[in-house]
Structure 1
């Protein structure tokens, strides 16, 4: 063909996979982008407070990983299952919380979000049914959507999912798994009582159901009694994938999480992880292991809890003056979120634009629901601002919603 001949029209590209077109982006991430400008007081993001990171301790841990006898190993490929010393540390911490665990039962993941993705890849075929709390963690809904799952909400009250409703749905719909965040749930902050946890375990064993128990917030308890994991209850032993994270207690930028699961499920997840990323960052794993060996993580978490408790209390103290009369909200015993509901006729999503114009932000609750959303709900995070900043943010919120 002569060089000056017109270029023939290119054939159209094949389309994206249907799942890529059917799952939208995260409204939470989009709101965070809106609130990055200086001066905005944001109750939107579920972010740890950066001023509370143990930067010096983590820097020393990285120095140890990169200068000690195993320095070359820190920069090398590693095994998919994870660095043995970090798996040992995770197992020891889980055992100390009442769930006997060995290192062989642990898979290190690139954040607990990856653990959820691996479970979905391992267990779910397109069209399979998944049960979730309503509302639930938004990224879990995205994950199950990408897997092509059919997601059904389990009715809940102010204390979490209703075991009788779970049993009825499981018997009728024959789901593959239940996904739950039973402790300081995202987005509601509520905690499932111990009796209900035991009922969930019994229902799963009786009706044949995988349990995916997500626990990123369990260390952040400010009051009340510790509740054992569902995984520790009789009936749950051979069917629970427990997801944990260092993001809320160490630093989210490390992107370190872990999965504790029965042997066959864990081995299948290892294969799925090999296809995804081969292994989680070696240097980050070894630095975390050094940190857990040299620093007192529990003492650090205690300092974080003290600060977060004061911030939670500041938010709760000011909500009555900031939200319209007739609003309601809960009092979480821990975690990072307060769940609120505006009076009849209000729409938290529609009011967000006014809030951002007043240099304050929150997350509307509607995207967290499966099926019919409640437009009057909103999620407020209290961890990233001081009590004084929270008070000012609530003044702005009152003006925006007034």
Structure 2
């Protein structure tokens, strides 16, 4: 079965670490998620479980695969067990996953393995040390002309001299010839490590866009970054790629000192990604005209940001409200360029729901929704995390 949306977190089997002070961790993480997959383990037995109506894989040594994630099975006979599958249920040594065709007719044999399935993007170029790479959606006819180039080397200035930050270069590029030959569209930064935090992260994406939510700095908050293609309203749009980035290109920015906690000054290392009507630290590769030059953009919502606006529960009906309507992406000049795929806007934040998945919510039948919290302002003094949701089922388009 093809899965149009996949999600990943640091809690999954063999998940790559966001790293601490060494260069290369972010590049390795993105490659593992986007292209190769990760967390390969040997399956000791694989059978059809009629009670669960699903295949059951036993991994005698234990595992950390998660319910609702997508795994890839290989080496099994009958071949119906192989391929990508949604995890239905897990125990400490077993993984149940759904099969499109039902019972394959018997237990599997062979040298069998399981891993967390990759998102399915294309890596067009990579440096010898793996710290510089260029990525794009696999099907460019459905997306556009823009690729993402990451430079996660220990380049001059990637790390702050006085515990300020650790940053990777994230560049929108086109006309790519090789790893060092391309046309630069924009040059911004993402956090390159999880220094001072517990290094948790979430990544949710489809074949054309992914959202990355790493925790970094002493406040231990997650912030949202993104690259990929929005759902454009313009026919033939080739430059509707969006970038959501870090608030500075300088790891030595004294106002963004990662080692300081949320109760101190100089902690403006969050982002405005979850605030509406704000153009900070986000842009589109080109305006709707397709002429050269990036375009500023902002998101429109009912209240001021994700995760706010109503009490929980709503007193009149004891309900929790959220919107699954597409989030509008406005570009400079008050033009509607398109919509942010895959995002759900809750009208309140419930801390007990952070990083939890829910199936078949009343307003979203047949969907799996994951709630995550992230910053909505730069300053960790003035505002902590707020909640947003992601549709893990899709399709987003």
TM category (shorter chain) comes to under 0.3
Q: TM-score, normalised by structure 1?
A: 0.22
State which structure, 1 or 2, has the greater radius of gyration over its C-alpha atoms. Answer: 1
Higher helix share goes to which structure?
A: 1
Q: Work out which structure has the larger RCO, using CA pairs closer than 8 Å and 6 or more positions apart in sequence.
A: 1
Higher strand share goes to which structure?
A: 2
